[in-house]
């Protein structure tokens, strides 16, 4: 019993260690180590060609416990900043906030637990095959985490492997799930290579193909830049979240952003999510005209984050174009922060988050035409969903994200969110402009590199010249389908192998 507890603690520590592979530390090799420890603890001792006979109830339950322990270590370390938003800005008492954070991390931990339980139940005939089944189960579970109950794909393993990781080259081809498959497969292969001398050549060959292939793909420019450059100015007001929604302090936000815009004019000016915490029609007369006048040049525009209301009285978290009057309305809303899921209305007793009952925007919203570019907006949390950004990027030359992560204080949430945006730029081959309230405001190149950024928690403007990009990456053409189909095929082949093994085992011997 004591040995089992020590093993589970070691696995949880490996999960916690993996978080340091993500921003702000970005020591991406640690993700290999963390996953390798998890795989090694449940590794099956198979000789080539031998059927797997470990699929007992005890085996898959143990595997599920391993996955749960790893997940708890991983998510409690990586997304515990949820506690900050609940206590500092949601008004939730600390004991309840601790409980809610624990329950949230426990829910997220069910997905690695599910992956390992299914892996333990799937028969394999070789150690190399077992590594592929492990990677397929893990990838499908991560994808499911990004889809179920509105989805939360934060800290998917592939996000740790943007530049400078050699695996970053696979992102424009197979997206974050494909990169995540490569991470888990390499981690499991390394364990098998170290444990079995006869497999080392094959392990080195497979690892070399993944690493060198990714490095080679990074040299390919999948999309083509426009010859003309767009002058941009991204404004970061750093308005404290605790003061932002107080009506008597609205003038502070108005003055801050107007002064920043007047000092840093450009063709395209971006203000962050809900930069102006008011309906546009309720703003002082002439304010929006004065803000619009700061954009310079033909077809110039100011895009600002605000709240809009339709004729039915519904409110939307929106990005508003001052030149055209058109707006983009956020479609993928944050549960509890922007809408209350069914059966959870009782949580409003404890949560005191302003403007937490938004309606969803339309599925199809065209990009804006600004100074020769087609600009597709997305708001905050939306850019963690690769398939949704892909759908908008296909009709755009430039991506613009308006965010406000001040809800999470000075935590890892901000650099983690920036890392996610880098993956979206890589996948789509489009520059990503990020205007945030408190950080990290940044210009991201189509190769996933950060071309410029502002320090967090300081007011200022990030100015730059950006070239819109035409053309398509492979991921932009085919999306996640190849990766998910490949993982599904691996699982189906494992199931078929299991049925064949059981049939052979039940067949009568000659002479019986």
Which residue is it, tokens 């406000």?
Answer: 404
Catalytic pick among 142, 231, 244, 330: 330
Taking Cα atoms as reference points, which of 414, 372, 367 lies closest to residue 394?
A: 367
Residue that is written with structure tokens 């934060």 in the block: 154
**Residues β-bridged to residue 307:** 317
8 A C-beta contact, residue 404 and residue 379: no
| Predicted local confidence at residue 509, as pLDDT | 42
Q: Exposed, middle or buried by CB within 10 Å (0-12, 13-18, 19+), for 233? A: buried
CA–CA dist 419, 384 (Å, integer) = 10
Can you list the residues of the chain whose pLDDT is less than 70? 1, 44-56, 242-244, 336-356, 498-512
Q: Is 380 a catalytic residue?
A: yes
Strand 398-403 and strand 368-370: pairing?
unpaired
pLDDT of residue 346: 46
Residue 372 and residue 398 in contact, taking contact as beta carbons nearer than 8 Å: no
* Half-sphere exposure of residue 389: CA atoms within 13 angstroms, side-chain side: 30
Task: State how far the Cα of 272 lies from the Cα of 285, in Å rounded to an integer.
Answer: 21
Q: What is the CA radius of gyration of the chain?
A: 25
- Residue 379: name the closest of 456, 429, 339, 320 by CA: 320
pLDDT at 340: 59
The C-alpha angle with vertex 307 and arms to 87 and 334, in degrees rounded to 5, equals 45
Q: How would you classify residue 239: left for phi > 0, otherwise alpha for psi between -120 and 50, otherwise beta?
A: beta
> 369 CB contacts (<8 Å, ≥6 apart)?
299, 375
CA dihedral 208, 211, 215, 217 (to 10 degrees): 90
| pLDDT computed for residue 420 by the predictor | 98
Coil, strand or helix at 378: strand
Residue 450 in contact with residue 444, Cβ under 8 Å?
yes
Q: How far is CA 114 from CA 69, 117, 129, 356, in A?
A: 12, 5, 19, 32
Residue 217 DSSP class: H
Q: Which of 142, 231, 273, 373 is catalytic?
A: 273
Q: What is the pLDDT of residue 350?
A: 53
pLDDT digits (tens, 9 = 90+) for 440-480: 999 999 999 999 999 999 999 999 999 999 999 999 999 99
Q: Distance of alpha carbon 118 from its chain centroid, rounded?
A: 24
What is the per-residue pLDDT for 333? 87
> Cβ(305)–Cβ(404) under 8 Å?
yes
- Between the CA of residue 198 and those of 125, 128, 186, 190, 203, what are the distances in Å? 16, 11, 17, 13, 10
Cα distance between the two ends of the chain: 45
Phi-psi region of 492 (alpha: psi -120 to 50; beta: other; left: phi over 0): alpha
Give the residue extent of every domain in the chain: 2-220+478-506, 226-472
pLDDT of residue 283: 93
pLDDT in tens, 159-214: 999 999 999 999 999 999 999 999 999 999 999 999 888 888 888 998 899 999 99
Catalytic residue among 244, 380, 382, 427: 380
The fold of 226-472 is Nitrilase/N-carbamoyl-D-aminoacid amidohydrolase (3.60.110)
Per-residue pLDDT, 510: 45
DSSP H or E stretch at residue 434: strand 432-436
SS3 480: coil
Q: What is the phi/psi pair of residue 60, to 5°?
A: -75, -30
Neighbours of 438 (CB within 10 A): 26
Cα angle at 182 between 121 and 136, to 5 degrees? Answer: 20
244 is catalytic: no
CA angle 504, 505, 508 (to 5 degrees): 80
The β-bridge partners of 376 are 399
């Amino acid at each position: 019993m004591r040995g089992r507890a020590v093993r589970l603690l070691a696995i949880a520590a490996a999960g916690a260690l993996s978080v340091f592979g993500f921003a702000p530390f970005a020591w991406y090799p640690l993700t290999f180590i963390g996953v390798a420890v998890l795989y090694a603890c449940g590794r099956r001792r198979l000789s080539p060609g031998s059927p797997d006979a470990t699929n007992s109830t005890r085996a898959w339950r143990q595997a599920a416990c391993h996955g749960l322990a790893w997940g708890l270590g991983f998510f409690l370390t990586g997304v515990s900043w949820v506690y900050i938003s609940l206590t500092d800005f949601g008004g939730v008492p600390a004991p309840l906030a601790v409980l809610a954070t624990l329950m949230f991390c426990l829910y997220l931990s069910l997905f690695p637990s599910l992956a390992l339980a299914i892996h333990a139940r799937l028969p394999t005939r070789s150690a190399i095959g077992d590594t592929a089944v492990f990677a397929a189960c893990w990838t499908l579970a991560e994808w499911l985490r990004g889809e179920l109950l509105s989805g939360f794909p934060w800290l998917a393993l592939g996000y740790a492997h943007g530049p400078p990781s050699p695996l970053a080259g696979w992102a424009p081809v197979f997206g974050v799930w494909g990169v995540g498959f490569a991470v888990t497969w390499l981690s499991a292969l390394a364990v098998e290579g170290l444990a079995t001398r006869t497999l080392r050549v094959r392990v080195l060959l497979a690892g070399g193909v993944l690493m060198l292939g990714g490095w080679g793909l990074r040299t390919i420019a999948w999309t083509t830049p426009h010859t003309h450059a767009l002058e941009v100015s991204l404004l970061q007001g750093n308005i404290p979240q605790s003061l932002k929604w107080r009506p008597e302090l609205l003038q502070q936000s108005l003055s801050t952003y107007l002064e920043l815009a007047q000092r840093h004019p450009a063709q395209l000016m971006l203000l962050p999510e809900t930069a102006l915490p008011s309906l546009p029609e309720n703003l002082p007369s002439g304010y929006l005209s004065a803000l619009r006048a700061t954009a310079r040049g033909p077809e110039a525009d100011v895009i600002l984050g605000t709240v809009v209301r339709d004729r039915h009285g519904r409110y939307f978290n929106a990005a508003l174009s001052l030149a055209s009057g058109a707006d983009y309305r956020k479609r993928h809303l944050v549960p509890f922060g922007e809408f209350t899921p069914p059966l959870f209305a009782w949580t409003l007793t404890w949560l005191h988050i302003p403007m937490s009952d938004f309606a969803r925007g339309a599925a199809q919203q065209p990009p804006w035409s600004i100074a020769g570019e087609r600009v597709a907006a997305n708001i905050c949390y939306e850019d963690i969903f690769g398939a949704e950004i892909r759908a908008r990027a296909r009709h755009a030359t430039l991506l613009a994200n308006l965010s406000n992560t001040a809800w999470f204080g000075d935590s890892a949430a901000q650099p983690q969110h920036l890392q996610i945006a880098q993956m979206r730029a890589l996948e789509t081959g489009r520059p990503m402009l990020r205007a945030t309230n408190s950080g990290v405001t940044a210009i991201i190149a189509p190769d996933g590199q950060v071309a410029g950024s502002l320090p967090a928690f300081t007011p200022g403007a990030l100015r730059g010249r950006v070239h819109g990009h035409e053309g398509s990456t492979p991921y932009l053409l085919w999306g996640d389908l190849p990766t998910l189909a490949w993982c599904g095929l691996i699982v189906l082949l494992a199931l078929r192998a299991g049925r064949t093994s059981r049939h052979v085992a039940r067949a009568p011997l000659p002479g019986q």
